[in-house]
């Protein structure tokens, strides 16, 4: 697919938990996850497999390449009435950073979301100081929709991005942007677009 590396998405398994915990113990990875990884949410270890990985409002996939588990991608806050979900991704194996694996995994989960389960809209939040992730999401077709500013520091700014399924007529805030999130409309404003 477009010269990207081959990735396979599979269900996250209990045997994957130790590796996920090790990745999320890394401060750099946890920073980019917004301090909220799969293993940092209270009660996740006990209940992730029964309700968290494939619950009605959440789906977590392992990302593999060549049989090696390198990360995970999560759809959370799935709203079936509005046909929308939030995307999060973690490439935990740093040797696979900046090599197209994140882009390939995001495209795979977008294909599954739009074609297998008929979602209309996927949105995400990403720190402005994460240019690798911003490039990935741009390549996948996500559009800038706003910025949440806190503390006056660039590293604290969160970029809001979203993508609609082609041909979708989903109604979002102000006709554009996050479904049901009241942050104001900033979409495609070059002043607010991260540099």
Strand order of the β-sheet with 158-164 is: 8-11, 58-65, 68-79, 84-91, 121-127, 158-164, 143-148
Active-site amino acid positions: 137
The angle formed by the CA atoms of residues 124, 56 and 184, to the nearest 5 degrees, is 30
Alpha-carbon distances, residue 88 vs 2, 3, 70, 169, 191 (angstroms): 22, 23, 15, 24, 25
Q: Residue 169's closest CA among 106, 84, 56?
A: 84
């Amino acid at each position: 697919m477009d010269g990207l590396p081959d990735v396979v998405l599979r269900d996250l398994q209990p045997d994957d938990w130790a590796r996920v915990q090790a990745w999320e113990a890394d401060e750099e990875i946890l920073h980019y996850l917004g301090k909220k990884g799969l293993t940092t949410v209270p009660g996740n270890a006990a209940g992730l497999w029964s309700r968290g990985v494939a619950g009605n409002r959440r789906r977590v996939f392992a990302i593999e390449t060549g049989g090696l588990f390198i990360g995970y991608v999560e759809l959370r806050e799935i709203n079936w009435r509005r046909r929308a979900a939030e995307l999060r991704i973690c490439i935990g194996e740093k040797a696979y950073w900046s090599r197209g694996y994140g882009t390939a995994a995001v495209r795979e989960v977008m294909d599954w979301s739009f074609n297998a389960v008929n979602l209309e809209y996927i949105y995400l939040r990403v720190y402005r100081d994460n240019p690798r992730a911003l490039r990935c999401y741009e390549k996948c077709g996500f559009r800038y929709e706003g910025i949440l500013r806190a503390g006056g520091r660039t590293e604290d700014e969160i970029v809001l991005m979203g993508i609609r399924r082609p041909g979708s007529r989903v109604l979002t805030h102000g006709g554009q942007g996050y479904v049901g999130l009241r942050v104001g409309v900033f979409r495609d404003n070059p002043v607010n677009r991260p540099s």
